[in-house]
Structure 1
Amino acid sequence: IDMLAETHDLTREAAIAKLKESYDGYHFSAESPDVFNPYSLLNSFSKKEFGDYWFGSGTPTYLINMMHKFNVLPTDIITRIEADASEFDAPTETMVSIMPLLYQSGYITIKNYNRDYNYYTLDVPNKEVKVGLTRALIPAYVTHNTLATTNTARRIAQALDKQDMNGALELLQTFLGTVPYCDNTHYEGHYQQMLFIVFSLLTDYLVDVEVHTPKGRVDIVLLTHTNLYLLELKIDSDSSSAMRQIDLKEYRQRFALSGKPITKVGINFDTKEGNITDWIIE
């Protein structure tokens, strides 16, 4: 740990914090302490780098195939899940959902246990798994050009760090203009999944979809260092109708206690172009 800290000009405490963020967070029972991924931890010590090692040890092709088989979307797995033990701690040979595979292969892990109602909360263990899993999903759900996707996400993060949502959407529009047309672009969920994957690459931010409010659901909620963004998507319509929906359902009230300025974003996609055509930011 001390050698790793010295290499990166960090204090010992800061190095431990980065190690925990990247490789810690596994739990295998209701009372389990935090468990590090030993493979990634030892590679980090050996190479003196905070790299993404676990995904380099294999290919997630089987996972992608199983996601298609069980009709699972990226938003179904890169998010918190509540389940009974029998739904995830079960033999993969007889599984009727993808959860046993996700749990036993380390994509998700136990994060909490509710004794009163006997259910578990599961989530992605740490930053390494989140980033690796998100990148693995890019070819199947966005484009085969993973480099362009990750570079775009990096530039979007830089724009959002400057509170420039308009610049971020311009980058996204330019990027989507390079994504080949596919047959499943005629429904809102397609674009929601694409944006979710891109925003999930912004590892220091929190992103969620279909967030419930007293009067409806927000398509995408994005929490950055400085702002809380409420994104409403429309297809073959206009951004004004998206903004009207945000106002009509009073989405802002649901997040009034977030402690950060709330920015509303209405976005319209054109299915013929497969791209954003207009947006409004308030």
Structure 2
Amino acid sequence: MAAISILRPGRKFPIGIQSFAKLREEGFLYVDKTALMYKLAQAGNPCFLSRPRRFGKSLLLSTFEAYFRGKKELFKDLAVERLETEWLEYPVLHLDLNAEKYDSKERLENQLVSQLENWEKQYGVSSVNDSYSIRFMNVIQEACEKTGRRVVVLIDEYDKPLLRNFHNPALQQEFRETLTAFYSVLKSADPWLQFVFITGVTKFAQMGIFSNLNQLNDISFDESYNTLCGMTREEIETTFVPELQTMAASCRISSEEVMARMTKMYDGYRFTASESFSRMYNPFSVLCALSKCRFDNFWFASGTPTFLLEMLKQTDYDLRKFDGTEVAAASLSDDRADVNNPIPMVYQSGYLTIKKYEPEFNIYTLGFPNEEVKYGFLHFAAPFYTPVPEADTAFYIGKFVRELRSGDVESFLTRLRAFFADVPYELNDKTERHYQVIFYLVFKLMGQFSEAEVRSGRGRADAVVKTADYIYVFEFKLGGTAEAALKQIDEKGYLIPYTADGHELVKVGVAFDAAERNIGDWLISYT
């Protein structure tokens, strides 16, 4: 709390604020996105935008609502104030699917009925039908007739009911049928519509929800709207000057170092194929960091990816391939929501982002966007692959790092045994991969505090860890001996790349005991 109290009075952070009217009326800080909003509004095409959660989608829709309701006073000193000259008022139908739990068909139906009843009352619709789609159409037509202007439809988080029930196929099917009929009205109602904007985390082609809405313009990968949600470095450095200075003073580092750390932790989201366009910072994490004067995993902690980890385990996905995986471009823009192909879902949920694009083959390389997501995800994943509880993972990793920093390899390997305790199946090909994933998790997580690398190519050691005084080269043998592992380090020349570093070199050969299903003997050699 002491860090927050030194912020300049009157500067309010819009953390969790999704109402544009509240944000402007109560003086919250705002990164101006109204020029892009105006451009979209003038284009008039029905649009769809996919972005990860807490990326500003709800606030964007609220901004559209204020604009189309002609609330000019809310846009004082913003870009759109200079662009718009008429400020016409349109009827706006804003459907927000964020709030409900959606654990039954009745929950979704109640949400739709409640919204329809409000609209019907607002626009004086007297003839009520049992069909949601007919009622929706009647509202649109009546609103247009009563106001003399075409209708604006805004739908926020269209896919929330589906995401909440990914592992319930029967309920998924019921939701698909209900929502498909409801959303399909938007095509037939086109003569009465001024503008349609739909947001969500994912785009599910196979689910058929948008199969009839072929007029939707998916702007999720459009370079023109790359910065519509999220924050650029320039926006942060322009909008939050006093906060960056305050954070620098609080953390006892320079403003440049604050931005460097901010970039490392929260930057890296890429929503276009082109590398020349700005990578986006996670707005939720940036606001939290600046308001609290500290760096932490704010976005990751705000919603755990349990269903994603369950999906990865269900498909026996090799977690080592997670960072750096290659996918066809079509799988990112037209996802099949296939439990046997989890990576597109993981990407759209914000845990992976675009790292590279090969236009010749139309292939994207994906990876963790930043350190917050990388280490947050790996910490969360560890209990899914090891018997160590999530609460104890950071404790173990901290101990691992301290032991290697002090040169205590014996204690490190003894502690590592705990990560392999009680694996509940016989040794086979699947088990071997499981153990390799555990090694991967341990050394990747250590990389948060030291230079730790996990190698997978031929002719390289299994893992390398660099501390201030030591460089450790590890080789693990499943079905082999510690002597063989140590010999391989020498014969393959694994130490050669590190001989000029000036550190003490330590070779560690480790055997894996098939009978005990755990680390067996090891040999340590100092050079």
TM-score under structure 2 length normalisation:
0.47
The C-alpha deviation readout for 1:40-77, integer Å capped at 9, x for no partner, is 11111222221111222222121012212332122121
Secondary structure of 1:106's counterpart equals: coil
Say which of 215, 221, 240 aligns to 2:463: 221
Q: Contact 1:228/1:260 (CA < 8 Å) preserved in 2?
A: no
> Which whole-Å deviations, capped at 9, do the CAs of 1:80-126 have from their partners, x for residues lacking one?
22343224443243576222112111111112334565543321111
Q: Does 1:198 align with 2:421?
A: no
Inter-CA distance 263–56: structure 2 relative to 1 (3 Å threshold): same
Q: Give the one of 29, 43, 46 matched to 2:291.
A: 46
Partner of 2:91 in structure 1? none
Other structure's SS at 2:510 match = strand
Q: Give the residue type in structure 1 aligned to 2:454.
A: D
Measure, in 2, the Cα distance between the counterparts of 1:184 and 1:5. 53
Q: 2:445 & 2:392 partners in 1: Cα distance?
A: 12
Q: 1:50 to 1:192 in 2, by over 3 A?
A: same
Whether 1:113 aligns to 2:361 is no
User: Does the residue aligned with 1:93 lie in a helix, a strand or coil?
Assistant: coil
Query: Counting strand residues as a fraction of each chain, which structure ranks higher?
Result: 1
Q: State the alpha-carbon separation in 1 of the partners of residues 250 and 397 from structure 2.
A: 27
Deviation at 1:232, TM superposition (A): 2.0
The letter of the residue matching 2:413 is L
Q: Indicate yes or no: 2:328 matched with 1:84.
A: yes
For 2:73, the equivalent position in structure 1 comes to none
State the one-letter code of the partner of 1:222: V
Which residue, 183, 208, 225 being the options, matches 2:454?
208
For 2:338 and 2:369, how far apart are their aligned partners in 1? 25
Q: Deviations over 1:148-170 (max 9, x none)?
A: 33211111112223344344223
Structure 2 residue 147 is matched with structure 1 residue 147:
no
8 Å contact kept, 2:386–2:419: no
Counterpart for residue 260 of structure 2 = 17
Amino acid paired to 1:98: P
Separation (CA, whole Å) in 1 of partners of 2:506 and 2:256: 35
Counterpart Cα distance in 2 of 1:279 and 1:172? 12
Corresponding residue for residue 132 of structure 1:
376
CA contact (8 A) 1:266 1:281 kept: yes
Q: 1:181 to 1:113 in 2, by over 3 A?
A: closer
Q: Deviations over 1:212-262 (max 9, x none)?
A: 33xxx64x2224245554322223542112223333444445x46985755
1:107–1:125 Cα contact (<8 Å) kept: yes
For 1:185 and 1:131, the matched residues in 2 are separated by 29
Percent identity between the two aligned chains: 30
Q: Aligned match of 1:271 in 472, 494, 514?
A: 514
Match of 2:300 in 1: 55
Q: Which residue of 2 aligns with 1:183?
A: 425
Amino acid at match of 1:156: F
**In 2, Cα distance between the equivalents of 1:48 and 1:258?**
40
Return the offset for 1:146.
2.2
Alignment of structure 1 residues 83-102 onto 2, 5 Å? 83-93=327-337, 97-102=341-346
Moved more, 139-148 or 124-133: 139-148
Aligned to 1:35: 280
Q: What are the superposed Cα offsets for residues 138-192 of structure 1, whole Å, 9 maximum, x if unpaired?
A: 121012522333211111112223344344223323x347x33422555433322
Partner deviation per Cα, 1:9-62 (whole Å, 9 max, x = no partner): 221111111111111111111233121011111111222221111222222121
Change (3 A) 1:95 1:193: closer
Q: Is the 8 A contact 1:221 1:228 kept in 2?
A: no
Aligned equivalents of 1:139, 1:151: Cα separation in 2: 13
Q: Are 1:233 and 2:476 an aligned pair?
A: yes
Kindly indicate whether the alpha-carbon contact (under 8 Å) linking 1:188 and 1:234 is maintained by their aligned counterparts in 2. no
**Residue type at the aligned position of 1:241:** A
Contact preservation (8 Å) 1:112, 1:120:
yes
For 2:310, the equivalent position in structure 1 comes to 65
Q: Secondary structure at the match of 1:129?
A: helix
SS in 1 for 2:456: strand
Describe the shift of the 1:95–1:56 C-alpha distance in structure 2 as closer, same or farther (beyond 3 A): same
Structure 2 gap ranges (5+):
1-243
Q: Which amino acid aligns with 1:105?
A: S
* Cα gap change, 1:81 to 1:185, in 2 (>3 Å): same
2:157 is aligned to none
2:490 is the alignment partner of 1:247: yes
Kept in 1: contact 2:268–2:279 (CA 8 A): yes
Change in 2 beyond 3 A, CA 1:256/1:200: closer
3-state SS of 1:45 partner: helix
User: What is the one-letter code of the residue matched to 1:62?
Assistant: F
Q: Which runs of 4+ in 1 moved over 6 A?
A: none
CA distance in 2 between partners of 1:258 and 1:73 (Å): 34
Structure 1 gaps, min length 5: none
Aligned with 2:249: secondary structure? helix
| Residue identity in the other structure for 1:82 | E
